[in-house]
Amino acid sequence: MKSVLNFGSINVDYVYTVEHFVRPGETISCQEYRRFAGGKGLNQSIALAQAGAYVYHAGKVGSTDTWLKTLMEDKGVDTGFVEIISGSSGHAIIQVNAAGENAIIIVGGANQLMSESDVQRIVADFEPDDYLLVQNEVNAVPLIIQSAKAKGLKIVFNPAPMSADVLNYPIGLVDILIVNETEAHSLTEESEPERIYETLNQRFPQIALVLTMGNKGAAYFSPQARFFQPAEKVHGVDTTGAGDTFIGFFLAELISTNDPKAALAYATRAAAICVTRHGAADSIPSRRELRTQQ
């Protein structure tokens, strides 16, 4: 069975429910405060495991937050490549407004401490045609992509949070690029889905693009196929983790069925459930839950 190696962030999420996002110079009171497990990497690993994939997480976490590693294990993630360090974990400060939208500040912490020897040692344990998943909340992303590609892994890259450095990453080695509209615009300076893909395709002819568009749905583009999946209509209370849920369920279903259209529909359904719940990792549904709702 194909495995997924996810080099990803492990965060503590501090979530503040507010009427509106705080403005410059303003002090506001929050309506509710909660602490959750988070980090795009952790969320995506849990989503992969919940969707039925076999996923190994590679990352680092502070010694005071070993509960995050335990949580991943309880959700079915293999954490043999998660290192406990003496420093502080990554964390996120998240505002969630009355519309369920979020604004996030990320502190890298342990997520920024992956060394070249760490990368080479971990990648060596995987086989050609396994999958690498990586986001942009960890350091050494170019090295991770290059090392995994040299081993023959299929590369799935989610350049979130987007930064100017991404433009210099080896995107030509990526097999599947998963971006939202903002990230896509930063990469291509285009806003229309077809133009986004055409611009990327000119630079990287073999790349497949998954474009997520919030409550408008998602689209898939590749040299072989193009299709759109509308979002399901739900009452959203918190969008935190929805994109990560989508990615985990999309990749798990793609590995299982080799059908990107089915994977897109499956991921969209999972993300719709996620936004009806608070938190990130805690809001990710299970494969059984999705199957029973069909």
Q: Specify the CATH architecture of the domain 3-292.
A: 3-Layer(aba) Sandwich (3.40)
Percent of the chain at pLDDT > 70 equals: 98
Report whether pLDDT(98) > 70.
yes
- Distance, C-alpha 255 to centroid of its chain: 16
Domain ranges of the chain: 3-292
Handedness of CA 127, 131, 136, 138 (dihedral sign): negative
Across 176-205, b (16+ Cβ under 10 Å) vs e yields bbbbbbebbeebbeeeebeebbeebbeebe
Q: What average pLDDT does this structure show over 274-287?
A: 80
Q: What average pLDDT does this structure show over 235-261?
A: 90
- Do 95 and 103 meet the contact criterion of CB atoms below 8 Å apart? yes
SS (H, E, C) the chain: CCEEEEECCCEEEEEEECCCCCCCCCCCCCCEEEEEEECHHHHHHHHHHHCCCEEEEEEEEEHHHHHHHHHHHHCCCEEEEEEEECCCCEEEEEEECCCCCEEEEEECHHHHCCCHHHHHHHHCCCCCCCEEEECCCCCCHHHHHHHHHHHCCEEEECCCCCCHHHHHCCHHHCCEEEEEHHHHHHHHCCCCHHHHHHHHHHHCCCCEEEEECHHHCEEEECCCCEEEECCCCCCCCCCCCHHHHHHHHHHHHHHHHCCHHHHHHHHHHHHHHHCCCCCCHHHCCCHHHHHHCC
Q: What average pLDDT does this structure show over 127-139?
A: 96
- Do 119 and 139 meet the contact criterion of CB atoms below 8 Å apart? no
Q: Give yes or no: 244 in active site.
A: yes
Higher per-residue confidence, 35 vs 220 = 220
Instruction: Dump pLDDT digits (tens) for 36-54.
Output: 888 999 999 999 999 999 9
Active-site hit among 118, 130, 238, 244: 244
Instruction: Dump pLDDT digits (tens) for 195-228.
Output: 999 999 999 999 999 999 988 999 999 999 999 9
Provide the pLDDT for residue 64: 93
**Averaged pLDDT score across all residues of the chain:** 93
